[in-house]
Chain A
């Protein structure tokens, strides 16, 4: 059996997740020995843009018709499609205000020329195509990417934490920024997996990994309000990386 063929793609996003893959310096040689990366524009100038793929890893959100078309084409040629990063999984920062009037925004930013642009509100990949695996994070964790490849090579899917950042933060015995310092920490509703990186450095969680499956943002909002935060601003903070962050 040949090596599985893999494509790595970016839609609208910062390419940070693709960079994480390239930063797996200690594992890159192992990786290319195990998988056949056929299409990875960011890393290679020789790409096969039409061959079938066993796995497509797609970063970024869908913000244009062109993004949507590319995504559908990728889906078509791939057996498994993996959403890479918070933008692909949740819409990300670009989905901050999906209700906004798009044409008005375009005009504000680009003036008259804005009307001609191909632009729509940000969507997560799963809103356009079927997604087989979500690897969230802004950017993704290197370990999660490697675990995904290791598991997929065995025909399996990786298991990521389904609990919130608080759990990891407590395991690390950090002081609680929300309770002890009254900081607007999104840890209680944000998917863990980062090792509570920010609270560990005494920076409150901004929710960059998107909500955990079982989040209770309404209750967190009440807490934040009691601590003197404006409810609308607090809600916007919880929604920064995922439009569904606050129900």
Chain B
């Protein structure tokens, strides 16, 4: 991969140039937390942030999206509004890029989702390295480093950013900025390694994900699920903030005085009581405990069977968003402990 370096004082210059590639969005502060938002000025950007309230998912699979407009006599007309808009997301963490790479697989396959794909094509991603906080466990989920899914990726090595060039678009951004990007030298590699080493050591959480499929297989009947079901509020917060939760609901509405209307999809959650409810009234996951169990199984077990890895990237958002402190790291630890018959 092409690696360059950018002196930190040239970042402003780069940011101003990169706007010609799309509307610039970056994390900004909101009451002590961070959200990705359109920048009105570059100085609003906060590149050193813990995590945004919502992941970049919101740009690719918006919370609500009109898919079709229905008109009698014309049928269902696809809505393409906003799909061709070019955006640049500046400052995406590795875990969130990884999450997009996971969503890429879900929204591809035999039936690619053209809405998602169009946005993925038109939204540039400039990643940035980060410092883990007490809820981060991306390293455990092997999502602390990404080798694709971004156009550029910035690593802070003190006076410089080391910049990984991921795509032709990223390369164009570099070229458009001119000679401020410098070639990398051997000493820079050492800087990078040092930085990487320090980051790895600064993780406060470590989740052992080896054997997870086996553990989940054995603990399907565990009373842990009933305990979690008793606490869960079914508020959907964990699903909304999760960078890899992609479930959606589809609703049709009619406009007053017409038979025309819209078909809209909106984020959904497997924790909602009607997620597996069919028209005849049968609910395949009625009890709250079975719903929260499903959420964990789908992420940590089902995805492994389907895609070879858990869909969780360890961003820690669900931990910070759960009003009743259901903590995925603790749940996995508890499951592991009840598994550990030998040490009892």
Determine whether A and B are in direct contact in the complex, meaning some CB atoms lie less than 8 angstroms apart: yes
- Interface flags, B263-287, vs A, CB<8A=1, else 0: 0001101001110000000000000
Are A150 and B256 touching (Cβ within 8 A)? yes
Partner of B230 from the list A163, A215, A219 (CB cut-off 8 Å) is: A219
Given contacts A162-B273, A173-B54, A220-B323, A167 and B256 within 8 Å (CB-CB): no
- Please report whether the interface of chain A is mostly helix, strand, loop or mixed according to DSSP: helix
Are A175 and B240 touching (Cβ within 8 A)? no
Among the stretches B30-38, B115-123, B169-177, B201-209, the one at the interface with A is B30-38
Quick check: is B24 within 8 A (CB to CB) of the other chain?
Answer: no
- Interface flags, A10-40, vs B, CB<8A=1, else 0: 0000000000000000010011011000000
Given contacts A153-B257, A223-B323, A167 and B240 within 8 Å (CB-CB): yes
Complex CA–CA separation, A188 to B30 (angstroms): 22
- Of chain A, the residue at the smallest CB distance from B320 is A179
Complex CA–CA separation, A160 to B58 (angstroms): 22
Are B235 and A175 touching (Cβ within 8 A)? no
Quick check: is A187 within 8 A (CB to CB) of the other chain?
Answer: yes
Quick check: is B63 within 8 A (CB to CB) of the other chain?
Answer: yes
Are A164 and B269 touching (Cβ within 8 A)? no
Are B240 and A171 touching (Cβ within 8 A)? yes
Complex CA–CA separation, A210 to B141 (angstroms): 40
- Interface flags, B243-256, vs A, CB<8A=1, else 0: 00000000101111
- Of chain B, the residue at the smallest CB distance from A224 is B323
Partner of B58 from the list A33, A159, A173, A180 (CB cut-off 8 Å) is: A173
Complex CA–CA separation, A175 to B51 (angstroms): 13
Complex CA–CA separation, A31 to B323 (angstroms): 42
Question: Which residues does A use to contact B, with CB under 8 Å?
Answer: 27, 30-31, 33-34, 146-147, 149-151, 153-154, 156, 158-159, 162-164, 166-167, 170-176, 178-180, 187-189, 202, 213-216, 219-220, 222-223
Could you jot down 12 A-B contacts, CB within 8 Å?
A30-B257, A151-B253, A154-B259, A156-B254, A158-B253, A163-B235, A171-B63, A179-B323, A180-B31, A202-B31, A220-B324, A222-B231
